[in-house]
Every structure is written in C-alpha cells, then in structure tokens.
C-alpha cells in the first residue's frame, strides 16, 4: 500500500504506527462494510487497543514532563488523567447500552487513588484496570460486531 488511507491520516500520531498488513486488513473491513474513513478512524479510537495505546502515550508524556518521578507516581498520574477525562465528559449523554461511571463514583476513585494504585504490580496492571473500567461502562459494546473485528485486527 503506497498511500496511507484517509482514515489513517485522521488518527492522532500515537495511534498511527501500524504495519502494512493491518492497514490493508482495516481498509478491507472498511470497504466490505461500507464505512466512511471518519467512521473507521472514530472506531479505532474507541477500541481497547486504542485505550492501551493512549495510556502508553500518556505515560511517555509524563516521563518527559516529570523525569524524576517514580514509575508508581507516573502510573497514578495516568490513571488520574483518565478519571479526569471521564469526569469532564460525565454530563454528555451516552449510547443506550453504555453505563458510565457517575460523577460520585469517579470522584470517589480519585480520592482513593493511592489505595487503588497500591494494588498495581506492573504497568500492565494499570492499563488493564483502565480498560476494565471502560469495558464495565460498555464503551466497547457494539451491536454490529464491527468494533470487535476492528480491535482484533489492531491487536494482531
């Protein structure tokens, strides 16, 4: 594939490094299902793969901004950042199959961030905790099944 598809160009840079095989598979999925480039780029950002990539990006940014912070402190900052984003969007209506955390739940988690982070043994634990929150909220639910297929392609 000489040219990157339009949907690829719409993605933030931290979602872009995909190999040619994955790009071709996603483009095939897009065409087979009659999806627009915008729909695919939006879909990619709503996958567990993208949530993991975003947390990696946040960790890297944290390392640049706080080079002397411990890994645990950076983990805490990444989780707080994710919770703050959820809090900022807590008033926005969601899809009927979503069950977002309430403001009270988010604030409670933020207040108990040290206790939550004390249970993490690795960065992987942090990321999977964040993904599990999104999964419990139904963020990854898609009645069409296309999102699951897209995530499988991205994780391959």
Which helix (H) or strand (E) segment holds residue 146: the answer is helix 146-155
- pLDDT by residue (tens digit) across 26-68? 999 999 999 999 999 999 999 999 999 999 999 999 999 999 9
Please spell the DSSP secondary structure of 17-54, one letter per residue.
---HHHHHHHHHHHHHTT--HHHHHHHHHTSHHHHHHH
What pLDDT score does 2 carry?
A: 60
Is the pLDDT assigned to residue 118 strictly greater than 80? yes
According to the model, what pLDDT value does residue 143 have? 83
Count each helix (H run) and each strand (E run) in the chain, helices first.
9, 0
Return the pLDDT at 142: 86
Q: pLDDT tens digits for 68-96?
A: 999 999 999 999 999 999 999 888 877 77
């Amino acid at each position: 594939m000489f040219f990157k598809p339009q949907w690829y160009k719409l993605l933030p840079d931290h979602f872009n490094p995909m190999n040619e095989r994955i790009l071709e598979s996603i483009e095939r999925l897009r065409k087979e299902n009659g999806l627009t480039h915008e729909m695919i780029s939006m879909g990619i950002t709503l996958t567990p793969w993208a949530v993991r990539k975003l947390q990696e990006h946040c960790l890297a940014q944290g390392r640049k901004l706080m080079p002397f912070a411990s890994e645990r402190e950076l983990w805490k900052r990444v989780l707080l950042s994710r919770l703050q984003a959820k809090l900022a969007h807590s008033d926005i209506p969601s899809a009927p199959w979503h069950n977002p955390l309430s403001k009270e739940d988010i604030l409670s988690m933020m207040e108990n961030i040290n206790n939550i982070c004390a249970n993490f043994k690795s960065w992987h634990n942090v990321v999977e905790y964040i993904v599990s929150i999104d999964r419990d909220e139904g963020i990854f639910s898609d009645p069409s099944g296309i999102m699951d297929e897209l995530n499988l392609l991205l994780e391959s």
